[in-house]
Structure 1
Amino acid sequence: MKTILITGCSSGYGLETAHHFLAQGWHVVATMRVPRADILPPSERLRVLSLDVTNAESIAAALDAAGPIDVLVNNAGIGVVGAFEATPMPHVRKVFETNTFGTMAMTQAVIPQFRARRSGVIVNVTSSVTLAPMPLAAAYTASKQAIEGFTGSLAHELAHFGIRAKLVEPGYAPTTRFAHNSDVRIEDLIPKAYADFAAPIFAAFAQPALVTKETDVAEAVWKASNDLTGQLRFPAGPDAVALAQAA
């Protein structure tokens, strides 16, 4: 029976992915900064661990407690929406620390055990903004684009050891807490000079033509985790699929 470790399981994609793999009979190690037994009660096949992907000691402790794993899903992320001009650079760095460097740190920490067994899968969750960059999300887009290139290169680098690297690219999911998991308010990142430009964009967010569900992402992670071909990218959700096909 295989074991998967998922980062960022307190809500959204991570939480749904944990449920999906449990339903498929896997052992699941669900991680989050502050474990919550109310949303993921530990069971025989589920362990809930504390993990801060921006902290090397936390990463080492979580992987040690998890024991051998077969799949790592780097899902933890921070969203930010606003004009780049008004986004404080400390917050830009915070976005990169979690979305980019956190993913890289988790990946680097798990490679030795995968290489020793000559097997393992690394699934990095990015975003459909890497397929079609959207305005008012420059820092977030950059942090995810970096992981796209990182994963593509890694796929070649690790194939020699029987390790697979995959990308899951979710579309827009209104039910996620995308821009609510940071300490900067959206209102503070839209200067008056950008108000007219931003208004129709936020209106489109409120009534999207196509949306991605958490289940779409969980199913894409499942496919990526079990894929034995050379496929690198797995768009998740009808909007992401449409963007991938148009690219």
Structure 2
Amino acid sequence: MPTVLITGCSSGFGLETAKLFVERGWTVIATMRKPGADILPPADNLTILPLDVTDPASIASAMDKAGDIDVLVNNAGFGAAVPIELIEPDTARQLFETNTLGTLAMLQAVLPKFRERRAGTIINVTSTATLKPLPLVSVYRASKAAVNALTESLAVEMEPFGVRVHIVLPGRSPETSFGNNAMPHLRGLDNADYKPLIEGMIANFRDGGGPVTHAIDVAEAVWRAATDPAAPLRIPAGEDAVQWMAEAG
């Protein structure tokens, strides 16, 4: 069976995607910064490896242990909801280092073999937040929009070599740890001008009503990208994501 390497498997989209590929018989390399024995149930076709996409030595070690792979899923990332005026420079750097440069580093780790073999699939998980202007997630949005642009150009570069390239765009998902991971970076609740906007954003994100994206939606979208040669470059994941993409044209 084919082998898939997935980054960011400790929770959310990456965890659900790893489970789905294991259940469907693929050889799965599930990576995360801090592996835990109880995160994924043991399986003969599952290997869990430590991987920090911002650390070149960690990437090299993981790729050496993983061996040849057929599909790379770049899912690792984090978010921060902060007004542009108030975002800490370190937070902005971390967003780009993880979401954008981490993706680039993983691409550079696998592309030589994919190109030489004239086969392979790249799947980059970004966000529907890139489809229209949204307050408070500007730098996160920019880091993911950069991955969209990177992926679009990569698809053109890899087409002559038989390497397929896709973007999976999830919508809002209360099931993930996005909100919890973003909270430590939150700034502005003590600012009378920004407080109402921030409180509204938090309430909206925690609201389970209306169309949302479930982790299984993302896993199924990644599965489609990995297994369907006719899959489009951009694949929305989740009912709200489908709506947003249709509105964006």
Same fold (TM over 0.5): yes
Partner of 2:88: 88
Partner of 1:77: 77
Partner of 2:55: 55
Match runs of 1:123-162 below 5 Å: 123-162=123-162
1:189 Cα deviation from its structure 2 partner: 4.0
Q: Deviations over 1:49-105 (max 9, x none)?
A: 000000111111101100100000000001101212111011100011000000000
Q: TM-score, normalised by structure 2?
A: 0.95
Distance 1:141 1:240 in 2: 15
1:5 Cα deviation from its structure 2 partner: 0.2
Distance 2:183 2:30 in 1: 24
Amino acid at match of 1:151: T
Q: TM-score, normalised by structure 1?
A: 0.95
Identity %: 51
Partner of 1:200: 200
1:183 Cα deviation from its structure 2 partner: 7.9
Query: Does 2:52 correspond to 1:27?
Result: no
Q: Pick which of 154-163 and 79-88 moved more.
A: 79-88
Partner of 1:209: 210
Amino acid at match of 1:29: I
The count of corresponding residues between Structure 1 and Structure 2 is: 246
Q: Pick which of 80-89 and 21-30 moved more.
A: 80-89
User: Secondary structure of 1:184's partner?
Assistant: helix
Residue 12 of structure 1 contacts residue 214 of structure 1 at CA under 8 Å; is this kept in 2? Answer: yes
Distance 2:183 2:47 in 1: 29
Residue 99 of structure 2 contacts residue 144 of structure 2 at CA under 8 Å; is this kept in 1? Answer: yes
Q: Pick which of 50-59 and 177-186 moved more.
A: 177-186
Partner of 1:45: 45
Residue 74 of structure 1 contacts residue 103 of structure 1 at CA under 8 Å; is this kept in 2? Answer: yes
Amino acid at match of 1:103: T
Flag structure 2 segments of 5+ consecutive residues without an equivalent: none
**Once superposed, what is the RMSD of the aligned Cα atoms?**
1.4
Partner of 1:218: 219
Amino acid at match of 2:236: P
Distance 1:93 1:23 in 2: 37
Residue 79 of structure 1 contacts residue 180 of structure 1 at CA under 8 Å; is this kept in 2? Answer: no
Flag structure 1 segments of 5+ consecutive residues without an equivalent: none
Amino acid at match of 1:122: I
User: Secondary structure of 2:44's partner?
Assistant: coil
Distance 2:185 2:94 in 1: 14
Q: Deviations over 1:144-183 (max 9, x none)?
A: 0000000000000011111011000000001111133368
Amino acid at match of 2:241: A
